[in-house]
A and B are shown apart, each in its own frame.
Chain A
Amino acid sequence: MAVSVKNQADAELTAPPGLDPASLYQPSGTVAPDVALTLYRDQVRMRRFEKRAYDLFMQSLVKGTSHLSLGMEAIAAGFGQAMQPRDYTFATYRGHAHTLARGASMTGVMGELLGRECGLLSGKGGSMHLTDVERGVMGSYAIVGAHLTIALGAAWSAVYRGEDRVAVAFFGDGATNIGAFHEALNLAAVWKLPVVFVCENNFYMEYTAIDSVTAVPRPAADRAGAYGLEGVVINGNDADAVYLTAREALERARQGGGPSLIEAITYRHGGHSRADPGKYRPKDEVEAWTAYDPVVLYRSRLVAAGVAEAELDAIDAAAQAEVDSATEEAKASPPSGAERLLTNVWADGGSAWRN
């Protein structure tokens, strides 16, 4: 089986508003069959996980807030496959998918959302701060834009230490209007650092349309030229396009070619956060983009390429079983206890500030 980026299944789908196929960057190369199946599996895992996270909110088992990647899974999945285990991920508060994409334990992620002992961060960080250093997830950052500067620091450190690691920073379209975005792009370009900046443009910063508050139509790509970078726009709902573009950018970074800025056009199926029903979006826009579902699109593509429906059904079932099992394990884990409260402020493990 050979999967091509453009095929019959794609042609039958109408591009939703805001996605102009003619303007998209066309990466080179093809996706190997085993990678394609993994891309599908990862997207399904993320989809099922996020749906479960939503259900658990509705049951008040997850407190606070959360930001889901429903509809945006192809970006995290594509990069997750293209990155090497030694590479660094810097995610945002919408980072469940990006953390899972690097192989973090689903029970650990679920446990963190539930505030349990088994959580990745023992319940001390929560949904917005998922981190799994062993798997290269260097943190999820909840202040918009901050981590773009931190990612360049990790890249600088890798170069200094002579290691060919690449740092990948994911961020939303809203981050392109904060100062840290511009400071990070400039310094990364000046120091020619191995960083890939990935803008997930879902058209709405939070509740406000990004084009109504931004001076240029493409919030990330149109700024690239200011830092001597190419403005690359891709279909963020096409896992193959994401994967292939990511592979190119990562390779260039690894070869000393410096940073890349990639704007991936996508759409979130729900609101910005738990509190947001997303009513500010036109109905037909939501319908068109919901129909242009990255998971559905990818499945159709695989079927058109000859993959048996039964094989894909088995992947779906396995993902659901994994989510069910992670949910049960997380629920069974005790709530984080008092012994965690005063630990790990300092490197000595404690929190003492005086003698």
Chain B
Amino acid sequence: MAELTYREAVARAIAQEMERDESVVLIGEDVGAAGGVFKATVGLFDKFGPKRVRDTPISEQAILGATMGAAMTGLRPIAEVMFADFFAVCWDIVANQIAKSRYMTDGQVSFPLVIRAGNGGGLRFGAQHSQSIENWAMMIPGLKVVAPATPADVVGLLAAAVRDDDPVVFCEHKALYASKGEVPDGEIVDKLGTAKVLRSGSDATIVALANMVPRALAAAEQLAANGIDATVVDVRSLVPLDTQTILAEVSKTGRLFTVEENPRLCGWGAEVVSIVSEECFDSLDGPIVRITTPHIPLPSADALEDMAIPSVDRITEVVQKALQE
């Protein structure tokens, strides 16, 4: 067992898979000798060389097109889109080409590829370098979407994503890169489509993703001090979505709160709420509440950004107020 940062966990996972499988390659802007702008690929260039760890120009369409073409002809490429916001300049390759081609060709081609991206806010980067884009990817049939919250999950889920025969959009939360956690020694391979129950309570079920997970856990501690016993579920994977774990945990407490970093409209929580409303309505003891960023572009100033993204205090207050009503 070693303590790793979230960014070190990314490099460890990639190294684990590249050592195991010669067909795994990594491309992206500054991923090679520079070790990535977020330092999440440090050491890989030295270890695996320029043939397997390739720097690219600032050409997101070419990066992802190359990734797609390589995946359909026998490689298992990992591509980095530096900031998830940049998906907007190569969305055609993601949404029209990679996601749809297996279906359109009735299974003639497969895309065993991973697109990693620095996702989410909290670093005062402003509206074009802070977005949570997991919902963009989630709504496209043919893409799997994963967003880990801990270094151990980064290793296990990234390894699972590399081994998966379908395209996976892997959202690394930028505000978590410096966070630390214990990671078991040896090979780690997790399973996509599995949520984790991190804390069990009897009064409320809080469902969170990525950087909202540690905040939900901290809020649960505050709530406990006020006599409210909350369950916290880390969704981890939006597609496939582990609805059974969520439904089971909501049924136990009768109350559901989603904590989403995304702006309000069409956030992943809305889909979770829809499923829970349809499938365990009778277990609910009160209204479902979504805690999200307001429907605004993220502001840059620290005070404003902190007001926008759900905070520990906001989660605590919203849950407390809802349960008191």
Contacts and interface: CB of A to CB of B under 8 A. Distances in A.
B240 A157 contact: no
Contact of A149 (B64, B75, B105, B110): B64
A153 B96 contact: no
B109 A133 contact: yes
Contact of B57 (A179, A187, A346, A347): A187
Given A187-B57, A347-B110, A352-B240, A139 B105 contact: yes
B11 interface: no
Interface in B61-109: 61-62, 64-75, 77, 92-93, 96-97, 101-109
A124 B71 CA distance: 21
| Most A C-beta atoms less than 10 A away, residue of B75, B243, B275 | B75
A148 to B, nearest CB: 7
Interface in A105-143: 121-122, 124-125, 129, 131-133, 138-139, 141, 143
B242 interface: yes
Contact of B74 (A161, A343, A355): A161
Given A179-B61, A347-B166, A353 B102 contact: no
A153 B104 contact: no
B134 to A, nearest CB: 14
Contact of B70 (A154, A179, A340, A351): A154
Given A150-B97, A187-B59, A131 B65 contact: no
Contact of B166 (A141, A167, A346): A346
A184 interface: yes
| Most B C-beta atoms less than 10 A away, residue of A160, A167, A351 | A160
A155 interface: yes
A352 B243 CA distance: 12
B184 interface: no
Contact of A141 (B62, B72, B97, B241): B97
Interface string B113-130: 000000000000000000
A40 interface: no
Given A157-B74, A187-B59, A355-B240, A152 B66 contact: yes
A150 B244 contact: no
Given A129-B105, A349-B107, A183 B61 contact: yes
Contact of A354 (B65, B96, B107, B240): B240
A138 B240 CA distance: 27
A253 B270 CA distance: 51
Interface size classification for chain A: 35 or more
Contact of B69 (A125, A153, A179, A186): A153
| Most A C-beta atoms less than 10 A away, residue of B68, B110, B244 | B68
A139 B241 CA distance: 30
Interface string A172-210: 000000011001101100110000000000000000000
Contacts of B43: none
A344 interface: yes
Contacts of B275: 354
Contact of B96 (A132, A143, A167): A143
| Most B C-beta atoms less than 10 A away, residue of A152, A167, A340 | A152
B102 A344 contact: yes
B106 A138 contact: no
A117 to B, nearest CB: 11
B239 interface: yes
Contacts of A190: 57
A346 B103 CA distance: 8
A312 interface: no
Contacts of B25: 160
A124 B69 CA distance: 21
A147 to B, nearest CB: 8
A156 B69 contact: yes
Contacts of B19: none
B157 to A, nearest CB: 16
B286 interface: no
Nearest to B65: A149
Contacts of A167: 69
Nearest to B68: A150
Nearest to A152: B66
B69 A149 contact: yes
B49 interface: no
A143 B105 CA distance: 16
A184 B244 CA distance: 44
A343 B106 contact: yes
A186 B59 contact: yes
Nearest to A126: B104
Contacts of B75: 157, 160-161
B70 A160 contact: yes
B241 A353 contact: yes
Nearest to B69: A153
Nearest to B60: A183
B73 A157 contact: yes
A143 B268 CA distance: 28
A291 interface: no
Nearest to B98: A150
Interface string B289-320: 00000000000000000000000000000000
B142 interface: yes
7 closest A-B pairs by CB: A153-B69, A149-B65, A347-B165, A153-B66, A344-B107, A183-B62, A183-B59
11 contacts: A124-B106, A131-B108, A131-B109, A132-B108, A153-B69, A156-B70, A160-B25, A180-B65, A340-B106, A344-B102, A355-B242
Interface of B: 25, 51, 54, 56-57, 59, 61-62, 64-75, 77, 92-93, 96-97, 101-110, 112, 141-142, 164-166, 193, 239-244, 275
Interface of A: 88, 121-122, 124-125, 129, 131-133, 138-139, 141, 143, 146-158, 160-161, 167, 179-180, 183-184, 186-187, 190-191, 340, 343-349, 351-355
Given A148-B65, A150-B69, A354-B241, 18 more contacts: A121-B106, A121-B108, A129-B101, A131-B109, A141-B97, A146-B65, A146-B92, A151-B69, A152-B69, A154-B72, A156-B69, A157-B70, A179-B61, A186-B57, A186-B59, A343-B107, A353-B239, A355-B242
